[in-house]
Chains A and B, each alone.
Chain A
Amino acid sequence: MGIINDLANFEFLRYSLIATLLVSLSTGIVSPIIVYRGMEFIGDGLSHAIFAGVAVAVVANFNVFLGAILATVVFAYLIYRLNKSDALRESTAIGILLPVFMSIGVIIFSKSPRYTTDVTSYLFGNILMVVKEDLYFLVAVTILTGIAVFANLYKISYWISDEAMAQFYGIRTNTIKLSILFLTSFVVVSALKIAGVIVMGAFLVLPGVFAKMSANSLKQAIFKAINFNLISSLLGFLVSYYFDLPPGPTIVLFGFLLLVISISWNKWKD
């Protein structure tokens, strides 16, 4: 069993496996919320916002994580503001801001001598470069997301299904909206090294779509999404290890395969 020995011998491999499982948990928690709310592009949007934040951090020579967090928080807040007065739908706001943040990132990165390396790393992720601090951050974000979501599950459910009525009966929907956007920002930032900008969208959408097919409640959808993520991540991780493939994209392909099988199975059953 090569992988067992390697896991015992190589710290970086253990870290990358733990990181993959933690990302499966955190993205599994927020994914059904994103999909039911129709904000599927939030993952892409936030990832592109990260790109701009990382670019600024790299060029200005300060902490990359801080740059990423700041950029996603600004991005999330702008979506909230644009959507607040019902002037624009969330997806429209994301569609407007996404190319803006991406363009800022590209322009700034073009002035950086590390352009090619940095871009590839942040576009596709580099799971094998995970360090202990990344794991601490991932654990903190996963716990925070889990507590925040499960403590407010009912309010979040009503915010998704009938925002006007939720507001009418005293649920602070704007606070929930802003909190979900910020939590998703933290999840995206923490998963950056594992998934990368391109793969992040899939991590946030595929499990939610899978869960939506058969869940009877938001709670059940979250557990289904987590299971989906764990299975596709472990399979992707193993295959990428044995065939020397990039882990992030391999995990996404397994997720997609799992989704196609589930859709076909459901159709066959009906």
Chain B
Amino acid sequence: MEQVRNSKEKIIAVKDLSVTLGEVEVLKDISFEISKGSFTGIIGPNGAGKSTLIKAILGFIDYEGMVVLDGTVGYVPQLSSFNREFPMNVYDFVRLPIRREKNWKEKVDSILNEVGLEGFGIRLVGKLSGGEFQRAALARALISKPDILILDEPEAGVDQMGKARFYDLLNSLKQEENITILMVSHDIGLIFEKCDNVMCLNKTLHCHGPTESMSIEDIKKTFGEFDIWIRSDDHYEVEHEHHEHQKNQTHSEARSDRKQRDNNGHNK
């Protein structure tokens, strides 16, 4: 495991990264580079290793290969990472990266205004909605002015309105602060709408390139059957129902074929 910081146009570089958890090889030979100021979305099926890749980049888990981060990092984890039963207010939640600074309260107030949570300082984190929680987590990640922002499924548990606001906020950050964003998401629709680059991951890196050079259809072709891993919340139910319907149809056709074969056999 080697983690190096250097200065180049590329702000993140990953080379030959492999992760084995227990006896399972979760990621194999992942290599990519990410340019400064870009917005990259990582998509892939459940169990593809998306969150594992993020954890390896952040140094949470052991890996083979090399990760180069040319800047400071802010991280927005999944909603489930926080114990929502614990009574912590938003001030304490957000000030974690700058907890030793004397003027932390002013800085927290300022960043809360920026993410649209003005006046939320004394509210309990456990009582926030999914969207509010993610904005608070974003405020925590941004308060130390990082060069790189890494997000792990920030839209999980957030309603459509909250999701749209959250992505707009990320885009304005990217434009105003030139921050580099790397984000894991299940929402392929939004990834294609908001990101500059897309990475398709399923144990190995299947594709990586500018969003405009790829289409959702191309990705479907690459990965085969359209399934729950590649969804937009708008499309998921319809697609899933369609998929189930097709599956049922295939089953009933198979049953009908079998019945016919049985009948033929019996007739013989």
A→B interface (CB under 8 Å):
36, 154, 157-158, 160-162, 164-169, 212, 215-218, 220-221
Contacts and interface: CB of A to CB of B under 8 A. Distances in A.
**Dominant SS among interface residues on chain A:** helix
A157 B88 contact: yes
* Centre residue among B75, B81, B86, B96 by max chain A CB count within 10 A: B86
Given A168-B58, A168-B75, A169-B96, A162 B87 contact: no
A220 B87 CA distance: 9
Interface residues of B, number: 19
A162 B97 contact: no
A36 B85 contact: yes
Interface string B121-136: 0001100000000000
B86 A157 contact: yes
A252 to B, nearest CB: 24
Nearest to A36: B86
Interface in B58-101: 58, 60, 75, 77, 81-83, 85-89, 92, 96-97, 99
B60 A218 contact: no
Nearest to A212: B85
Contact of A162 (B58, B82, B85): B82
Given A162-B81, A164-B77, A169 B97 contact: yes
Given A217-B88, A217-B89, A154 B77 contact: no
A157 B77 CA distance: 18
B89 A216 contact: yes
Q: What 5 pairs across the A-B complex have the smallest Cβ distances?
A: A161-B86, A161-B83, A162-B82, A169-B96, A169-B97
A157 B85 CA distance: 12
Given A162-B81, A165-B81, A168-B58, A221 B96 contact: no
Nearest to A160: B86
A24 B125 CA distance: 30
Nearest to B122: A216
B87 A165 contact: no
Contacts of A166: 96
A217 B89 CA distance: 8
B81 A164 contact: yes
A160 B87 contact: no
Contact of A165 (B86, B96, B99): B96
